[in-house]
Structures are given as structure tokens and as C-alpha cells.
Amino acid sequence: MGENAEHTRVPSPEDITQAEKYKEEANKFFKHQNYDAAISLYTKAIELNPTIAIYYGNRSFAYLKTECFGYALIDATKSLELDRNYVKGYYRRAAANMPLGKFKLALKDYETVMKARPKDKDAKLKFTECNKIVKILAFEKAIAVEENKKTIADSVKLEAMTIADEYTGPKLEDDKVTLKFMQDLIQWYKNENKLHQKYAFKILLDIKVLFMSQPSLIDITVPDNEKFTICGDIHGQFYDLLNIFELNGLPSNTNPYLFNGDFVDRGSFSVECIFTLFGFKLLYPKYFFMSRGNHESATMNHMYGFEGEVKAKYSAKMADLFTEVYNWLPLAHCINEKILVMHGGLFSRDDVTLKEIREIDRNRQPPDEGLMCELLWSDPQPQKGRAPSKRGVGIQFGPDVTKNFLKLNNLDYIVRSHEVKKDGYELVHNGKCVTVFSAPNYCDTIGNLGAFITLTGNNMRPTFTMYEAVPHPNVRPMAYANSLLKYMYQ
């Protein structure tokens, strides 16, 4: 990563000159959004001259752009150790803490920036927005303590919601999701219409009851010669979700699916994605599966757009109900006792069993550490052992960690998602750790392919189908994201 590559020797004049050249070259790559190349060059500059705060500050910014918030945090902190007056260091550190949900720490740094630049409008905006979040969270915490056991679901009064005659959209039949309803819903959404709030609330209430009845780890049996499909992150890219169904068929009793977390956020059609997926889960509860991702959480939804989208299309109450529902999403799935599927990855200790995963008490917001956190946040690394996460949450685990986990639990391999891959998928750890990512041209900028996995009950080897992004209506990604998140990387 570069942090450990610093030299203790004093840089020579040649080193100093070359480091500056690397920085200038890196800045050009950064400008053209080639952040990985920029990071590599900033790292070279740091190796030659580790005494310059701006090198760390710039690399921190590039890490922010690639969502390596853990690395960004380390670099921003290092830049401030080298130069306490380096104002951009405080900016970067605050920007790294925000998506990690560490709003109070971010606020402290924005306050420092404000004091250093009292006339800076941008600094004032960021401080004000961050302060607002801190106050809202404190208020919500106080309310939650007061209300204690009451749930949002209990307070929803469906009978009070009337459906006007002019509503011509999809309708539940006898309060149930049917195949016709799902087909109508997909067409309705394609035409950029909104499902009536009464039906939307009904789906959420029903899906909550269904998820509550399930364990944290679900066992799936795929019979011989029958197909099973695993999809990775969708991230609100509704038209790409429909393309998966075009390529692979609609979900059914004979065409089962598992969607492996991060259904929402970033893409601005997250509401359409989640109601489509929840609808299929209700229609085919034993043949359609959903795992929780790290973005099925209140903090992520607040920052990355889902909360804003639900409020814009429906209401704050529905946004709160989604949070309640997400708390009950299963955390992992085990297929034919041979493949474990989770959103993030493996663990900070070697003795974790499937039984222990099955017994996780999941009805809560994802914690900052422990099994639940690591299932949602961890990533593989090429080198052996474990390392702190580039994201600042979860861990990074090596091929030996994967091998030991599989051996202990008598599994063949793991499937996870959570990371953009150029081809939509990647095999690492001698093929024992498979990543699948199903949102092509992520955020309309990355240019990656999407992919999904198919396998059969008697041939558990993964087959990959890759596809390009399809056109979508002119609503840009992150359209509903928290304004602070939109501005803080500037």
C-alpha cells in the first residue's frame, strides 16, 4: 500500500527532484480519473521523499475516489503529522471519516478547516452539513431510547391509504404478489412510473415478516442438473437488473436466484430495484434469495442516496421502515453444503464455523467489528495472512485464511461481491474465492462489465456470463445522495 515503504534516510537532491516529477505525473492521471495509476505514482514520490505532506494528501484524495477510506484516513493523518497547517489534510481526513459513519470526528476536522479559512464558503457548507447530520443522529438516538420497543412496521396503517381511481399501475391481488403483478410492475417501472404507496408499504410489511422467520445463514439445495444463478451488487441500476432477467430469464420456481447484497445506493433507480427484488422474494420465497450488503444500512443509505430517493419518491417514514427491514436480511447462504456466499468476506479469526454464522443476532445496524461486520465488509488480498482493510472497516484476508476456513467447514469455495471488477468477476486464492459484481459501467463512469454466475446442482463449478451496461433514463447516479458526499471529494 505504500505506507510502510518510507525510507528513514534523508532524500538526496535527485530524489527530491524525481519525487516532484512523479507527483506532477500522478496529478495528470488523477485529472483524467485514472486513480490507480495516480496512487502508484504518488507512492513512488513518497518512497523517494517521505517528508512532504502534499504527497500523502494527494494520495489520500485518490484513495477517496477509489473508496479506500481506510487508506485515505491513514494518509490524511500522516500528512497532518508532517504539517499541522496543511488544511487539505483536515479536509481529506473528514472526507474519509464521513462514509465510515464517524461524523463527530469529521465535524472536528471541518471545524479546524473553518477556523483556518473563515471566509471559505465550501468549508462552511461542509461544516454545516456535517453538523446537521450529527444533530439528527443525536436526536434519533434520543427518540429511539424513548420509544424503545415500538417499530415503524407497527405504526403503518394500510387501511388509511386510499387508492384513487386514476391509478392505473400494478395492483396486488388479494393483498398478494402474483406473477402478473411482477410483470406489470417491471413494465410500469420501465415507463418511469411509481408503485402506489399502499402496495409499496404492504410489500415492505410482508417481506419483513418473511425475513424475520429466517436464520442468519440460509441453506439452499440445488438439485442435480438444475440451474442456480448468483448475482452481485446491483446498486440501484434498475435497467441493468432488467437486462440480467433478459439474458437469464425471470426468476421462477425453476429459475432460482441469489442476489448478494448492495441492491441500493449510488444508482438513482434504487427504489425500483428493491421493490422488484422484494416482490420476487415474496412470489418465490423458496427459490429467490437475498443477502445483506454493507449498503443495506442506515449510514450508507443516508450518505449514498437511497434514503434521499425514498423520501423523494415516498416518505421519511418509508425510509425508516426500509432500515427496519434491512436489519432482518440474512447475512449468508450455503449452497449444497459446498459453497458459502456472503457480500464481503472472511474473518479476523481462524475458528469461525457455519454454526456460529447461523447463530449471529443480526437484527441491528452493522457493527464496526466482529463476524457480522466482516461478512459485510471484508475483502481478499493476494498475500498471506490478514491486514487492516483499505476501506477502514472489516479486514483483508489472504489465500491461507480462505484455505483454512474452507477446510474447517468442509466447503469447496466462497462467493462474494462488494468490489467492482473489470470483467464483472474475479477468481483469486487458487480459484477458491470468487468475486461477482453485477452493476456494469458502475456509476456511469467506471466502464466495467457486469457478470452473474450460473451453476448446476451436480456441477458446482461457476460459469460466468458477462454483459455491458444498457441505456437508462437521464437521471445521473448519486442524484439523491447527501449533498455533503457530492461536494466533499472536491
In this prediction, residues 40-62 reach a mean pLDDT of 97
> Given 235, 295, 333, 343, which residue is catalytic?
295
Helices vs. strands in the chain: H and E counts, helices first: 19, 14
pLDDT at 355 over 90: yes
pLDDT at 3 over 50: no
Report the chain's mean pLDDT, rounded to a whole number: 93
Q: What pLDDT is attached to residue 123?
A: 84
pLDDT at 207 over 70: yes
Q: Produce one character per residue of 284-295: b if its CB has 16 or more CB atoms within 10 Å, e if not.
A: beebbbbbbbbb
How distant is the alpha carbon of residue 247 from its chain centre?
Answer: 24
The percentage of the chain sitting over the pLDDT mark of 90, rounded to a whole number, equals 85
Q: Check if the beta carbon of residue 359 is closer than 8 Å to that of residue 390.
A: no
Q: Check if the beta carbon of residue 72 is closer than 8 Å to that of residue 91.
A: no
Q: What pLDDT is attached to residue 148?
A: 56
Q: What pLDDT is attached to residue 252?
A: 98
Domain architecture of the chain: domains with CATH: 3-140 (1.25.40.10), 158-488 (3.60.21.10)
pLDDT at 140 over 90: no
Q: What pLDDT is attached to residue 462?
A: 97
The letter for the amino acid at 228 is: F
Q: Check if the beta carbon of residue 413 is closer than 8 Å to that of residue 433.
A: yes
The letter for the amino acid at 464 is: F
Q: Check if the beta carbon of residue 378 is closer than 8 Å to that of residue 394.
A: yes
Rounded to whole angstroms, what are the CA distances from 485 to 34, 100, 130, 196, 328? 20, 12, 10, 30, 27
Q: What pLDDT is attached to residue 144?
A: 62
Rounded to whole angstroms, what are the CA distances from 160 to 201, 310, 325, 458? 12, 20, 22, 51
Please report the sign of the dihedral spanned by the C-alpha atoms of residue 477, residue 480, residue 485, residue 490: positive
295 is catalytic: yes
pLDDT at 392 over 80: yes
Q: Check if the beta carbon of residue 65 is closer than 8 Å to that of residue 56.
A: no
Distance between CA atoms of 429 and 435, rounded to whole angstroms? 11
Q: Check if the beta carbon of residue 437 is closer than 8 Å to that of residue 293.
A: no
Q: What pLDDT is attached to residue 126?
A: 86
In this prediction, residues 391-417 reach a mean pLDDT of 97
Per-residue pLDDT of 108-125, as tens digits, reads 999 999 999 998 888 888
- Predicted TM-score (pTM) of the model is 0.91
More confident residue, 174 or 134: 174
Q: Produce one character per residue of 300-314: b if its CB has 16 or more CB atoms within 10 Å, e if not.
A: bbbbbbbbbbbeebb
